[in-house]
Amino acid sequence: MVHGPPAVELVDLRKSFGDVVVLDGLTLRVPTGGVHALLGQNGAGKTTTVRILATLTRPDSGTARVAGYDVVRERRRVRRTISLAGQHAALDDGQTGVENLTMLARLTGLRAPAARARAAALLDRFDLADAARRQVITYSGGMRRRLDLAASLVGAPSVIFLDEPTTGLDPRSRQALWEVIGELAGAGVTVLLTTQYLEEADRLADQIMVLHGGALVAEGTAADLKRRFGAQRLELTWRDAAGLAEATRRLGDRVTHREPARLSLSVATEGSAPQVRALLDEVDPDRHGVVRFTVREATLDDVFFTLTGRPASPEREVAGV
Amino acid sequence: MSELTLRPTHAAVMIGRCVRLSRRNVDALLTSLLLPVILMLLFVYLFGGAIETGSAYVTYVVPGVLLLCAGFGAAGTAVSVTTDLTNGMIERLRTMDVGATSILTGHVVASVARNAVSTVLVLGVAVAIGFRPAVAPLRWLAAAGVLLLFLLAVSWLSAAFGLLARTPEAANGYTFLVMFLPYPSSAFVPVETMPSWLRGFAEHQPVTPVIESLRGLLLDTPVGTAPTQAVAWCVGLLALAVLLSGVLFRRRVA
């Protein structure tokens, strides 16, 4: 299994819509098995990447392969390998849950009895058996997403793309969906999901790829990323802008955060007293520049901020946190 | 192109889907069944007394009403195709390698089936209020054939319009275009009563030969070249629509 081609392989992928460059030389590799997250803000290129992988959009240049098959030249083989669950659950409101799934199962080539059996099994597995004979229009948002996930499994795909699977769900439905996604990976399927929620990536993904401006800016496990970009950081607040500027110059690229408005900057630290003391001596030898220091646990948010210079979640921007 | 090849199983599943969805959409179904009947009653009882056609007005108007309801019902196809495009269903189907032709065939066949039902309903009511077609089974069959061909052409054209529209509401606007086409024709009044500029249009638009064929075939009167013209129009429009929808589908989803 491990020696086969990677589930996904992108090399120098480029795509523009008019003047807008969406993918700017994206190169990445997703090994077979497990849950992988493409993390990025709106406009980072997540959805376009997934659409190219799902054969819905053609790249301008570069190559994209799924399970070794080229998404342009071997489109049909790719389509037999993958499935996509999009941002809005693509289901027929006027059909019941079981009718939707049976229809899709028949389209994958199953005969009617086998298709009905597949539909019933999936409805059971996604806890929708009771609602199977109700029209989808009566379903709640969470039920629709579960049915949508079930629908993406009818063809027994080996790679599943989930484009922002929990956007717009309430916290409880999101939690429920996370469990389901976790189970998918347990069944040996490779899951590639896009998300703008750090918590989601942290909780679900074995490997996180941070996308910014249509290119990969970092990848690794959540723990890797936190470690690499500072497991903990020392946040220093300065008396005045001159002190801040001087310290910034002195530390160079060791600065992981800067918030000039609050006269503060951060550097990575291991959090031990000797190291903190040494750092303070280094940046503030005269001992009257720094007015306050705080040691903070790094979060994925910090990683994101370090990489992109912007807070990760739009909600945080609005709230000004 | 794999997107445009028709696979029988796919088409059959898509037809089943669209017929089921049509049956479930009760509002739209009732409208497309009742509106033609109401329009016919309106023409016969409200306008019929004032219109001189040389025969009982109900006899004159029934073929026109049949076409009016065909156009109206078929135009609904545009709305359902646009809905499929905007809610992500077509994308899901594409990732499952279901081709455009199969998807559109589902919509078109469901549309033809819907309209066959409403046609039978209108004919039933028409007979109840005094329409007396000639007893000539072969000619009936020919009339059914012409109507079916017309339905097919309008449905497929609607599907193409559905691929063009950005929203289901915009697609709905197309319904009106098709609904008005039968008015400036020989459907409701003889074209000789129209001003000359309008008569020129009425005599040379596709609806007129279709109506003249239906009228002649149902009433067992001479039809002249009307059926030939009707078939030529319908086959031409159908070919155009199939071609156009193929191009539009590829452009829309690229």
Q: What is the pLDDT of residues B60-79, one digit of tens each?
A: 888 888 888 887 777 789 99
* Whole-Å CA distances, A72 to A58, A78, B136, B235: 7, 9, 57, 35
Question: Cα(A245)–Cα(B212) distance, rounded to whole angstroms?
Answer: 88
How far is residue A296 CA from its own chain's centroid? 24
Lowest mean pLDDT among A35-44, A175-184, A256-265, B178-187: B178-187
Q: Give yes or no for residue A257 having a pLDDT over 90.
A: no
The reply to whether A279 touches chain B by the CB within 8 Å rule is no
Residue A150: both structure tokens together: 């079930």
Residue B220: φ, ψ to 5°: 60, 50
Which of A79, A88, A95 has the CB atom closest to B97's CB atom?
A79
Task: Count CB neighbours of A46 within 10 A.
Answer: 24
Question: Cα(A266)–Cα(A296) distance, rounded to whole angstroms?
Answer: 9
DSSP label at residue A130 = G
| pLDDT of res. A319 | 32
Question: Cα(A210)–Cα(A39) distance, rounded to whole angstroms?
Answer: 5
As to burial, measured by CB atoms within 10 angstroms (0-12 exposed, 13-18 middle, 19+ buried), residue A111 is exposed
ipTM: 0.85
Mean pLDDT of the region A7-26: 94
Residue A36: φ, ψ to 5°: -125, 140
Mean pLDDT of the region A259-284: 86
Q: Give yes or no for residue A27 having a pLDDT over 60.
A: yes
Q: Residue-wise over A158-185: b if at least 16 C-beta within 10 A, else e?
A: bbbbbbbbbeebeeebbebbbebbeebb
Q: Rounded to 5, what percent of chain A is helix, strand, coil?
A: 40, 30, 30
Q: Give yes or no for residue B5 having a pLDDT over 80.
A: no
Determine whether the interchain pair A91/B89 forms a contact, defined as Cβ–Cβ distance below 8 Å: yes
Residue A297: φ, ψ to 5°: -70, 130
pLDDT tens per residue, range B165-222: 888 888 888 777 777 788 888 888 788 888 888 888 888 888 889 998 998 898 888 8
Highest mean pLDDT among A135-139, A313-317, B83-87: A135-139
Which of B21, B87, B98 has the CB atom closest to A107's CB atom?
B98
The reply to whether A160 touches chain B by the CB within 8 Å rule is no
| pLDDT of res. B115 | 87
Q: Give yes or no for residue A87 having a pLDDT over 80.
A: no
Task: Work out the minimum CA distance from A53 to partner chain B, whole angstroms.
Answer: 10
Which of B7, B24, B95, B102 best probes binding to A when mutated, by most A CB atoms within 10 angstroms?
B95
In percent, how much of chain A has pLDDT > 90?
49
The reply to whether A58 touches chain B by the CB within 8 Å rule is yes
| pLDDT of res. A318 | 33
Taken in order B148, B154, B160, B166, the sign of the CA dihedral is negative
Question: Cα(B208)–Cα(B202) distance, rounded to whole angstroms?
Answer: 7
With beta carbons under 8 A apart, name residues in chain A contacting B21.
Answer: 92, 94-95
What is the interface size between A and B, counted as CB pairs within 8 Å? Answer: 66
**pTM (2 decimals)?**
0.81
| pLDDT of res. A2 | 52
Mean pLDDT taken over chain B? 86
Lowest mean pLDDT among A26-30, A121-125, A242-246, A307-311: A307-311
Q: Give yes or no for residue B227 having a pLDDT over 70.
A: yes
> What pairs with residue A85 in β-bridges?
A162
| pLDDT of res. B204 | 83
pLDDT tens per residue, range B107-150: 999 999 988 888 888 889 999 988 888 888 899 999 999 999 99
Highest mean pLDDT among A31-35, A281-285, B3-7: A31-35
Task: Count CB neighbours of B112 within 10 A.
Answer: 20
Question: Cα(B106)–Cα(B192) distance, rounded to whole angstroms?
Answer: 41
Where along chain A do its domains lie? 8-224, 232-297
Which of B5, B86, B90, B97 best probes binding to A when mutated, by most A CB atoms within 10 angstroms?
B97
Mean pLDDT of the region B1-11: 72
With beta carbons under 8 A apart, name residues in chain A contacting B10.
Answer: 107
Determine whether the interchain pair A103/B13 forms a contact, defined as Cβ–Cβ distance below 8 Å: yes
Of residues A317 and B112, more confidently modeled: B112
Residue B18: φ, ψ to 5°: -65, -35
Mean pLDDT of the region B17-40: 86
| pLDDT of res. B199 | 86
Q: Give yes or no for residue A262 having a pLDDT over 90.
A: no
Domain A8-224 falls in which CATH fold? Rossmann fold (3.40.50)
* Whole-Å CA distances, B10 to A104, A106, A112, A151, B97: 10, 8, 12, 17, 10
Say if residues A228 and A289 touch (Cβ distance below 8 Å).
no
CATH class of A232-297: alpha beta
Which of B16, B24, B87 has the CB atom closest to A90's CB atom?
B87
Q: Give yes or no for residue B15 having a pLDDT over 70.
A: yes
Task: Work out the minimum CA distance from B252 to partner chain A, whole angstroms.
Answer: 11
With beta carbons under 8 A apart, name residues in chain B contacting A160.
Answer: none
Where along chain B do its domains lie? 2-253
Highest mean pLDDT among A214-228, B31-45, B203-217: B203-217
List CB contacts of B203: < 8 A, sequence separation 6 or more: B191
Task: Count CB neighbours of B198 within 10 A.
Answer: 12
Task: Work out the minimum CA distance from A173 to partner chain B, whole angstroms.
Answer: 21
Of A45, A94, A68, A316, which is closest to residue A190 (Cα–Cα)? A68
Determine whether the interchain pair B92/A90 forms a contact, defined as Cβ–Cβ distance below 8 Å: yes
With beta carbons under 8 A apart, name residues in chain B contacting A88.
Answer: 87-88
| pLDDT of res. A311 | 53
Helix (H) or strand (E) holding B66: helix B57-86
Say if residues B238 and B149 touch (Cβ distance below 8 Å).
yes
Residue A169: both structure tokens together: 């769900």
The reply to whether A57 touches chain B by the CB within 8 Å rule is yes
As to burial, measured by CB atoms within 10 angstroms (0-12 exposed, 13-18 middle, 19+ buried), residue A296 is middle
Q: Give yes or no for residue B87 having a pLDDT over 80.
A: yes
| pLDDT of res. B43 | 84
Quick check: helix, strand or coil at residue A240? coil
The reply to whether A95 touches chain B by the CB within 8 Å rule is yes
With beta carbons under 8 A apart, name residues in chain B contacting A119.
Answer: none
Which of A83, A92, A145 best probes binding to B when mutated, by most B CB atoms within 10 angstroms?
A92
| pLDDT of res. A35 | 94
